[in-house]
Structure 1
Amino acid sequence: MAIKDTFTGLFGQKKERSPLPEDPHYKKNADTEEDELTTISGRLDAERKSREGFGRFLRHPVRVLTEKPENILVVCLPLSLIVFFGGFLSMVQVYGIRVLFTSTMIDDFAVLAILISIVPVAILDFREQSRKKNLEEALPNFFRDLAGMNDSGMTLPNAVHLVANAEYGALTPHIRKLDNEMSWGVGFVEAMYRFGRNLGTPLADRSVDLIAKASKAGGDISEVLRAAANDTFETVNLAQERRNNMLIYVIIVLVSWAVFMFVIAILVSTFLSTMATAGAAAQATGASSKFMARIDLPAYKRLFCHAAMIQGFFSGLCAGQMGEGRVIAGLKYSAIMLVISWFVFRFFI
């Protein structure tokens, strides 16, 4: 019994002893691993926040502001308001409130503020539409070449790899990126979805979605590629035909504004100038009548200048809507006609 108690005590003490958790080196290693996991999780959270929302804007402000034409208004609108109200307050402070009626400098600040607001948007929109147009025009050839190579017995990854060595204009870098992703082991469907997101055009999204779903369903992918090529080709041709057919209406809008400018120039330089001279002469001789009253020629010029600039601005928006189906596309016409109207009245009329 004594021997049994001795063994039991010994084994019991050995079983109850747990030196590993109480080992200071073990606790130090566990704490180090926990700190590393916490640090990694914090970095991942910070990286995730930097890819979306305000964090993405702080990390890539220029990219966020220029990826869509409307985004630049976040900077342009406050800047234009600062320019306009700063000029307004400085003019009133120096010359008094009557400067609004006796000088055209406030009009200059207004024109400058409008141009600051619309010119960056017009430039970015023109660049974005040119990019989309170049990409969509190259898509039919790309899909058609893939379909032909797939018909010859090539797998889709091999066909994409061979096509990536060809030249497709603005689409070439995107095709090579698609080839690289597939060579790294990304599946064809996932790579095609990424390809469509990188292009960022409605036509590309529709075509890529059609190809990816047909590939998942296991149908004849060559026929689907050929159908996507025909669809993109017809869509691009219809868009070009629409632009060609509506071009005449855009020209009519621009010509009507030019005619308005010409009529105002003739009216101011001949009729109103003559009437102002005759009215001043009659008033000087004391023979003025109600009909020959003094004409405030600068006030008429300013009124006609405002009319020409307003018509030019909104005529440009109408031209964009009729020509390209988007009001924002008319900002480039509005900016050009606004500058011409201001320049003509400020230096020639």
Structure 2
Amino acid sequence: MIVEFAVFIGFMIPVYFIYTKYSKNKEICDYFPIFIQEVYNNTSTGMSLVDAVKKSKNINYGCLTPMIKNMCLQIEWGVPFNHAIKHFGKKVNNSFIDRMVILMDKVSQFSQDIGKNMGEIYDYIALTKRLERERKTELFPQLISLYFVFFVFLGIILIIFNFFIPYFDIVEVIQYKEVFIHLVFIESIFLGLTLGKMIEDSFVAGLKHMTILYTITFIFVMFLF
């Protein structure tokens, strides 16, 4: 138990920082469509793309707000729009947003109908986000099922330990206890990471599930073994 607790504490600090970074990136991705929608609304009234972006800076976009304001500030200082928006894409450091930034750059340079093209970009982003939400909704029952299976697994371990293991001698009981404890902790770690990859297509997202399952396992072992 001491080893498992030490591992838990040791992992919590890096897990916290890694997951915080992931959450920030996720928030940026969630707010980016709102920014694009605002730019599209502005361009549809006849504004240039540069003016539309500058006007959009006054809205709150969460973690994305400072980056958008920084981009607008660069534009106001005379930095060419294509340079400013590319710098914005690099600062955000997200592959999907980077692709959309490239499209916006091309629209600013070559489009004859900026409003229409920005509308198409927004529609594509909205469709992508909608498909992501639908995927999560469809997979949610599987998430619940796997949590349920995990609890069943803990129940089976408890039954085996309480009804079968006691018939062995004390040395074997201690050995089996160690095996079962390590088994449930390993299961909680790998199941948590698997859930993150399955539901959100990211092992980092699985750190949340891993922490929950590891905590449940720790309580289970501490009070029931």
TM range (shorter): 0.7 to 0.9
Shift, 1:339, TM fit = 3.9
Secondary structure (helix, strand or coil) at the match of 2:205 reads helix
Q: Measure, in 2, the Cα distance between the counterparts of 1:193 and 1:336.
A: 39
User: Which structure has the bigger radius of gyration?
Assistant: 1
Report the counterpart of residue 171 of structure 1 in structure 2: 64
Displacement over 6 Å in runs of 4+: none
- CA offsets per residue over residues 105-149 of structure 1, 9 Å max, x none? xx6336524652x43443234323322332222223322322332
Secondary structure (helix, strand or coil) at the match of 1:308 reads helix
Question: 1:1-349, aligned counterparts within 5 Å?
Answer: 108-109=2-3, 112-113=6-7, 116=10, 118-273=11-166, 275=167, 294=169, 296-349=172-225
Q: Measure, in 2, the Cα distance between the counterparts of 1:169 and 1:317.
A: 27
Q: Measure, in 1, the Cα distance between the counterparts of 2:178 and 2:119.
A: 61
Q: Measure, in 1, the Cα distance between the counterparts of 2:123 and 2:103.
A: 13
Matched to 2:2, the amino acid is D
Matched to 1:268, the amino acid is F
Q: Which runs of 5+ in 2 are unaligned?
A: none
Shift, 1:183, TM fit = 0.7
Please give the TM-score of this superposition, normalised by the length of structure 2: 0.85
Q: Which runs of 5+ in 1 are unaligned?
A: 1-106, 277-293
Please give the TM-score of this superposition, normalised by the length of structure 1: 0.57
C-alpha spacing 1:166/1:337, structure 2 compared with 1 (3 Å): closer
Q: Which has the higher contact order (CA 8 A, sep 6+)?
A: 2
C-alpha spacing 1:136/1:327, structure 2 compared with 1 (3 Å): closer
Moved more, 183-192 or 153-162: 153-162
Shift, 1:237, TM fit = 1.6
Secondary structure (helix, strand or coil) at the match of 1:167 reads coil
Secondary structure (helix, strand or coil) at the match of 2:59 reads coil
| Aligned-pair identity (%) | 27
| Contact 2:22/2:205, CA 8 A, preserved across alignment | no
C-alpha spacing 1:146/1:306, structure 2 compared with 1 (3 Å): closer
Shift, 1:207, TM fit = 0.7
Q: Measure, in 2, the Cα distance between the counterparts of 1:219 and 1:121.
A: 49
RMSD: 2.5
Secondary structure (helix, strand or coil) at the match of 1:264 reads helix
| Contact 2:107/2:117, CA 8 A, preserved across alignment | yes
Matched to 1:257, the amino acid is F
